[in-house]
Chains A and B, each alone.
Chain A
């Protein structure tokens, strides 16, 4: 820290040679400021990551210590020939797509309602945040209890209302398990969208709306012409971040269904976990992880360059 204290800008000399000197010095300070973050990344992400990549090309089965050494693409082959791989990939898309779409729709609707100048706004805003502060493990357990086919409230209500003839095991049915977990994920995650979109809504200058209203624009038109363009940046960021977070999320599915029944709610992270911790085939787990990561990275660069191209235009 002492070095940083001395790095005052005032010390820089005024001459052009000084400018150059100052520039080099700035770079050193920048490096120093970035060093702690970089250290975290190197030790706790880059190093384990290299480990993973390295292992994906080696035989590393904890229960079969006799087979070791270089595996070439064998581990990748194990994954690609696993009949669960294609369904898991498809589940990951469904889970991510439906979650993000649902979260965005609810987040937008609630944010717009909360932005209206009405009585009791603070209380409503407080209540909408509640699901987001409930830990995933707790939310998962709570919904397991709500959806329980024998004693759960939801099934009982639906039967009494005549929506269902018999209680249904939502988390235990092949067709419904993934959808049920997705629904719970939407329930828990949408308030983050609400807060962010609400913040962006408040940053829109009110006179814009007034001016548009003067010109005779109706509420729907004003929403499309004024509100949505202002929300574009925050929406893109939110959606992009959540696509990544949802696709790599493990907790929700693990707590609620552990990927079951019959792997009908198994996504790639759950599959990685099972390969590593239950089959002890670390090599295959790493191969699967490497594939899913490169896919993410590819998506990210596509997004990044498309945004940049649009920005440049």
Chain B
């Protein structure tokens, strides 16, 4: 009896202690990023996150830096094992896939109550919405423009940057003849190569997969000979760039990294690239001081790749705190410090070179269809390789890519039956 009393007494004494202990226990959010910790944007973000932790003592942010090339595989593995982080960086190309894996939190109810929602570019949010559900938030916008070294163009006697594919080929050849340096560069490999290909396709009015009336997707180039012809022209452009010496032959093997590095060192004159190149301008101020930005040269119509780089928010134990942090990262203060030139907020406009010339391209921006892209992007990459490395006929590559896209859609169960 006495024991019981003591027990009760101790219990009564402990309860408030325990309760407060539980309440004071901060929530730790896992946040996987792919920034380069030595770069300015990462440093700014780390500082902002520290401020956030100060003003929100109940939330701790645990960031893990993972190389971009490794991020996709690590994310899908962790999702498959039920160990996803709370938030992560990523590519919009993975949205369909993560959605089908049922990994993403539905942010629609939070966004509905979000006072700053109308400050975000609507098409950025639209691109992250599937079946009416908002499944991710925009991290930064990677609109692509034509970057060129003005001095090199002047030296070659090219008065204005090219506005069409023909002008591009012409200018690049002139530059090669007069300066000895190559005129243009592409990414023939890696995540950026399908993005560039998607842009050229859109410029020639072709879509990699179209939404069908039943809500599913299909590549219909085989049924539409005009579109197939326009796709063939795109692959022919790649071939011409190589054959006419408009780009260095090794560019067929370049990824984003070689493309960016070589441009920022002034090894060639023109590239389709994004606003992150401002970081290179800080690193190589001498070689980058003559760089200007204009819209990409057009095919049948102007278009560019609109990379909506997302934050993925996963189904986790702390949805409220995660939303709190995610919306903080879209605040004016955070965006102004971290993404001054590529913010998804309309009220963060950026400077004259690295901001406005890119954000002004928003209306002509195109993105990937919201399906599980996995092997589609790899097929697109392969199609460029087939043209450039294997020297296959552009028409047969176009036909091959159409078939490969449909095969991939079939594998993931997203093919339209119509």
The residues of A with any CB-CB pair to B shorter than 8 Å are 61-67, 149-150, 166-169, 171-174, 260-263, 277-281
CA of A62 to CA of B375, assembled, Å: 14
**Residues of chain B within 8 A of A172, CB atoms compared:** 189, 250, 252-254
With A63-B101, A261-B389 known, 16 other A-B pairs at CB within 8 A are: A62-B79, A62-B80, A62-B101, A63-B97, A63-B412, A149-B250, A150-B250, A150-B262, A169-B250, A172-B250, A172-B254, A261-B252, A262-B389, A263-B382, A278-B378, A281-B411
Stretch in B35-43, B69-77, B303-311 with 4+ CB within 8 Å of A: B69-77
CA of A150 to CA of B181, assembled, Å: 13
Verify if B267 is at the interface (C-beta below 8 Å from A).
yes
Interface string of B383-418 (1 = CB under 8 A from A): 001100110000000000000000000011100000
A63's closest neighbor in chain B, by CB? B100
**Residues of chain A within 8 A of B101, CB atoms compared:** 62-63, 65, 280
Please name the 8 residue pairs, one residue from A and one from B, whose CB atoms are nearest each other, closest first.
A172-B253, A149-B250, A262-B385, A169-B250, A63-B100, A169-B253, A277-B73, A64-B413
B258's closest neighbor in chain A, by CB? A150
**Residues of chain B within 8 A of A65, CB atoms compared:** 100-102
**Residues of chain A within 8 A of B97, CB atoms compared:** 63, 280
Q: Are B253 and A261 in contact (CB under 8 A)?
A: yes
CA of A173 to CA of B388, assembled, Å: 10
Q: Are B389 and A173 in contact (CB under 8 A)?
A: yes
Verify if B136 is at the interface (C-beta below 8 Å from A).
no
**Residues of chain B within 8 A of A64, CB atoms compared:** 100, 411-413
CA of A62 to CA of B378, assembled, Å: 18
Distance between B258 CB and nearest chain A CB, rounded to angstroms: 7
Q: Are A278 and B374 in contact (CB under 8 A)?
A: yes
Q: Are B189 and A279 in contact (CB under 8 A)?
A: no
Distance between B131 CB and nearest chain A CB, rounded to angstroms: 15
Q: Report which of B79, B250, B374, B382 forms a contact with A279, defined as CB distance below 8 A.
A: B374
> Chain A's interface: helix, strand, loop or mixed, by majority?
loop
CA of A167 to CA of B182, assembled, Å: 14
Distance between A55 CB and nearest chain B CB, rounded to angstroms: 12
CA of A78 to CA of B361, assembled, Å: 43
Distance between B91 CB and nearest chain A CB, rounded to angstroms: 13
**Residues of chain B within 8 A of A66, CB atoms compared:** 413
Q: Are A62 and B253 in contact (CB under 8 A)?
A: no
Verify if B372 is at the interface (C-beta below 8 Å from A).
yes
Give the most central of A64, A167, A171, A261: most B CB within 10 Å.
Answer: A261
A155's closest neighbor in chain B, by CB? B250
Verify if B249 is at the interface (C-beta below 8 Å from A).
yes
Distance between B212 CB and nearest chain A CB, rounded to angstroms: 18
Distance between A56 CB and nearest chain B CB, rounded to angstroms: 17
B residues contacting the other copy or chain, number (CB 8 A):
31
Q: Are A166 and B249 in contact (CB under 8 A)?
A: yes
**Residues of chain A within 8 A of B72, CB atoms compared:** 278
Interface string of B59-94 (1 = CB under 8 A from A): 000000000000011001101100000000000000
**Residues of chain B within 8 A of A149, CB atoms compared:** 250, 253
Given contacts A61-B412, A280-B374, contact A262 B76 (CB under 8 A): no
**Residues of chain B within 8 A of A61, CB atoms compared:** 411-412
Give the most central of B77, B267, B389, B413: most A CB within 10 Å.
Answer: B389
Distance between A71 CB and nearest chain B CB, rounded to angstroms: 14
Distance between B80 CB and nearest chain A CB, rounded to angstroms: 5
Distance between A47 CB and nearest chain B CB, rounded to angstroms: 16
Q: Are B100 and A174 in contact (CB under 8 A)?
A: no
Q: Are B390 and A262 in contact (CB under 8 A)?
A: yes
CA of A63 to CA of B97, assembled, Å: 6
CA of A127 to CA of B121, assembled, Å: 60
CA of A260 to CA of B254, assembled, Å: 12
CA of A167 to CA of B389, assembled, Å: 16
**Residues of chain A within 8 A of B249, CB atoms compared:** 166, 169
**Residues of chain A within 8 A of B411, CB atoms compared:** 61, 64, 279, 281
CA of A149 to CA of B249, assembled, Å: 10
- The residues in B between 232 and 283 inclusive whose CB is less than 8 angstroms from any CB of A are 249-250, 252-254, 258, 262, 267
CA of A66 to CA of B100, assembled, Å: 10
Q: Are B372 and A63 in contact (CB under 8 A)?
A: yes
Distance between B304 CB and nearest chain A CB, rounded to angstroms: 26
| 18 cross-chain CB contacts under 8 A | A62-B76, A63-B372, A64-B100, A65-B100, A149-B250, A150-B258, A167-B250, A169-B250, A173-B253, A174-B385, A174-B390, A260-B189, A260-B385, A261-B189, A262-B390, A277-B77, A278-B375, A281-B411
Q: Are A262 and B382 in contact (CB under 8 A)?
A: yes
B389's closest neighbor in chain A, by CB? A174
Interface string of B170-214 (1 = CB under 8 A from A): 000000000000000000010000000000000000000000000
Q: Are B250 and A278 in contact (CB under 8 A)?
A: no
Distance between B217 CB and nearest chain A CB, rounded to angstroms: 14
Distance between A194 CB and nearest chain B CB, rounded to angstroms: 33
**Residues of chain B within 8 A of A277, CB atoms compared:** 73, 76-77
Distance between B6 CB and nearest chain A CB, rounded to angstroms: 41
Q: Are B375 and A279 in contact (CB under 8 A)?
A: yes
Interface string of B98-132 (1 = CB under 8 A from A): 00111000000000000000000000000000000
CA of A254 to CA of B79, assembled, Å: 22
Distance between A264 CB and nearest chain B CB, rounded to angstroms: 8
**Residues of chain B within 8 A of A171, CB atoms compared:** 253
CA of A281 to CA of B411, assembled, Å: 9
CA of A89 to CA of B279, assembled, Å: 43
A174's closest neighbor in chain B, by CB? B389
CA of A61 to CA of B375, assembled, Å: 13
**Residues of chain A within 8 A of B372, CB atoms compared:** 63
**Residues of chain A within 8 A of B375, CB atoms compared:** 278-279
CA of A64 to CA of B102, assembled, Å: 10
Q: Are B100 and A278 in contact (CB under 8 A)?
A: no
B96's closest neighbor in chain A, by CB? A63
Interface string of B324-341 (1 = CB under 8 A from A): 000000000000000000
**Residues of chain B within 8 A of A150, CB atoms compared:** 250, 258, 262, 267
**Residues of chain B within 8 A of A169, CB atoms compared:** 249-250, 252-253
CA of A61 to CA of B80, assembled, Å: 10
**Residues of chain B within 8 A of A278, CB atoms compared:** 72-73, 76, 374-375, 378
CA of A276 to CA of B243, assembled, Å: 38
**Residues of chain B within 8 A of A262, CB atoms compared:** 382, 385-386, 389-390
